[in-house]
Amino acid sequence: MRLDGKIALITGGGSGMGRVASELFATEGASVVVVDVDDEAGRQTVAGIEAAGGRAIYVHADVSREDDARRMIEEAVGAFGRLDVLYNNAGVMLADDGSVDATSEEVWDRTLAINVKGVAHGCKYGIPAMIATGGGSIINVASFVAWMGAATSQTAYTASKGAVLAMTREIAVEYARKGIRCNALCPGPIDTPLLAELLADPAQRERRFVHIPMGRLGRPEELARAALFLASDESSFMTGASLIVDGGITAAYVTPVD
């Protein structure tokens, strides 16, 4: 098993891509700390892992709050004795996020608090815990829009993911010789309930699809397997990198439409 004996903390682990990753990591031998703000969803993820024979606990934490982030790391170490993998997966893409001249301060504040400060808070407390037991792997979820403009305006989200990419590189360089690897996972559009809600408008959905060379949304398990690679020792010489899983979007100049 690729994560045998490792302790992995996954934020936003109660649903969507976080739940799929939590289940996969457990299947691969990790003890999983599922972190979410939705208690019912988080506990359901843990129950599913335990029913399949895995080990997991649930911790309620809002990653935008520093005290919550500190506590989630403390509870992980308290329960399992160490932390080997920190998967900063929690994030938001708000419906009112649009062009720079139309996006409200409230949308900016919430987006940056969760998507950027949430990652920073996790790393602030996760890194010392990892160093104390020899190091570990951090996976920060950015996005393909950190590399190129989005076809649909989402300025605060795009800016937040660019910040995650820059922060990932900084952390990777600073802590490389202390046993910490830090990489960014950059998904394209993934078929989750959140994206389905945001793409309920057929015209908006079509604008998205025309830019994907593979002609479909990614599946949550496809992203989870990429995260598994970054979490495992198979990526032991990777740090400061961006693993782009986007169906070819960032490789394309113009995508042909059948």
pLDDT at residue 73 in the model: 98
Is the four-CA dihedral 183, 27, 11, 195 of positive or negative sign? positive
Residues 114-156: tens digit of each pLDDT: 999 999 999 999 999 999 999 999 999 999 999 998 777 899 9
Q: What percent of the chain has pLDDT over 90?
A: 83
- Judge whether residue 78 has pLDDT over 80: yes
**Cα 250 from Cα 187, distance rounded (Å):** 11
Q: CB count, 10 Å around CB of 132?
A: 11
pLDDT at residue 258 in the model: 53
Residues 24-61: tens digit of each pLDDT: 999 999 999 999 999 999 999 999 999 999 999 999 99
* pLDDT confidence band for 210 (50 / 70 / 90): confident
Cα distances from 214 to residues 188, 189, 207, 227, in angstroms, run: 11, 11, 14, 20
Is-contact 199 155, C-beta < 8 A? no
pLDDT at residue 28 in the model: 98
- Give CA 34 to chain center in angstroms: 13
- Judge whether residue 256 has pLDDT over 60: no
Positions marked catalytic: 157
* pLDDT confidence band for 255 (50 / 70 / 90): low
What pTM did the predictor assign? 0.94
Domains of the chain by start residue, with CATH: 7-189+219-245 (3.40.50.720)
- Unique residue bearing structure tokens 């682990």: 13
pLDDT at residue 99 in the model: 96
pLDDT at residue 70 in the model: 98
